[in-house]
């Protein structure tokens, strides 16, 4: 009987241990992105809707649990809010501007074993012109699942920052905004 109780307790502990949530950090702007945006000869840019085929605010991380976006917004919304943050800090965000950037998150993938996020996003301007970026962001891989998932959660915002850097620093970004 003691053996059954011990096995039941052990099973319960294992189930609870496998249900951790790993909260990602809020987006922090990039001074390089802000400087590049400030160079643009444009009064303001609005940010439209950022969508995805499968709106989600969590992504599985091994058997340890899930990485969760801040405030429960979807990953697509997280990217849109990050772009809005970059524009606002640069003094270029205007919610009423005719110049608009929207986006569609085609795919998001987390590989915590190899330490990488993959973001595949289509950015669209007000005239429906598109830029597609598939960005892979590497972060230090960890053997132990909990440490790996914590590192993955902390690496979400730098992966989005790198994605936005590719967009903002692209040699055709100015034309994309139609300025």
pLDDT digits (tens, 9 = 90+) for 13-49: 444 445 689 999 999 999 999 999 999 998 899 999 9
In a domain, 7, yes or no: no
- Give the whole-number percent of the chain exceeding pLDDT 70: 89
pTM for this entry: 0.88
pLDDT for 119 equals 98
In a domain, 130, yes or no: yes
For residue 152, which of 120, 114, 118, 112 has the smallest C-alpha distance? 112
In a domain, 4, yes or no: no
pLDDT at residue 152 greater than cutoff 50:
yes
Name which of 16-30, 57-71, 124-138, 155-169 the model is least confident about: 16-30
In a domain, 154, yes or no: yes
pLDDT for 24 equals 96
pLDDT for 49 equals 98
pLDDT for 2 equals 58
Q: What is d(CA 63, CA 154) in angstroms, rounded to the nearest whole number? A: 18
In a domain, 136, yes or no: yes
Is the torsion defined by CA of 132, 93, 37, 153 positive or negative? negative
Question: Using an 8 Å Cβ cutoff, are 123 and 80 in contact?
Answer: no
Q: What is d(CA 23, CA 149) in angstroms, rounded to the nearest whole number? A: 9
Give me the domain span that covers residue 98. 21-176
In this prediction, residue 177 has a pLDDT band, given cuts at 50, 70 and 90, of: confident
Helical residues (DSSP H) of 110-155, grouped into ranges: 145-154
Q: Where are the beta strands (DSSP E) in the chain?
A: 20-23, 46-52, 58-61, 65-68, 100-111, 116-125, 130-138
For residue 156, give the CATH number of its domain. Answer: 3.40.50
pLDDT in tens, 47-86: 999 999 989 999 999 989 999 999 999 999 999 999 999 9
pLDDT at residue 178 greater than cutoff 90:
no
pLDDT for 11 equals 44
For residue 170, which of 28, 30, 33, 31 has the smallest C-alpha distance? 33
In a domain, 13, yes or no: no
Provide the number of structural domains found in the chain: 1
Average pLDDT, the chain: 90
């Amino acid at each position: 009987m003691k053996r059954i109780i011990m096995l039941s307790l052990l099973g319960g502990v294992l189930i609870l241990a496998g249900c951790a949530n790993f909260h990602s950090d809020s987006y922090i702007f990039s001074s390089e992105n802000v400087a590049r945006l400030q160079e643009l000869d444009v009064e303001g840019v609005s940010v439209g809707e950022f969508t995805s085929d499968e709106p989600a605010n969590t992504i599985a991380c091994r058997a340890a649990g899930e990485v969760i976006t801040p405030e429960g917004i979807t990953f697509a919304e997280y990217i849109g809010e990050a772009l809005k943050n970059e524009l606002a800090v640069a003094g270029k965000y205007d919610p009423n501007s005719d110049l608009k950037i929207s986006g569609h998150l085609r795919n998001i993938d987390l590989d915590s074993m190899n330490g990488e996020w993959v973001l595949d996003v289509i950015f669209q301007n007000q005239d429906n012109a598109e830029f597609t970026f598939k960005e892979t962001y590497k972060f230090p891989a960890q053997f132990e699942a909990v440490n790996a998932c914590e590192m993955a959660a902390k690496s979400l915002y730098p992966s989005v920052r790198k994605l936005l850097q590719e967009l903002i620093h692209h040699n055709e970004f100015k034309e994309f905004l139609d300025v």
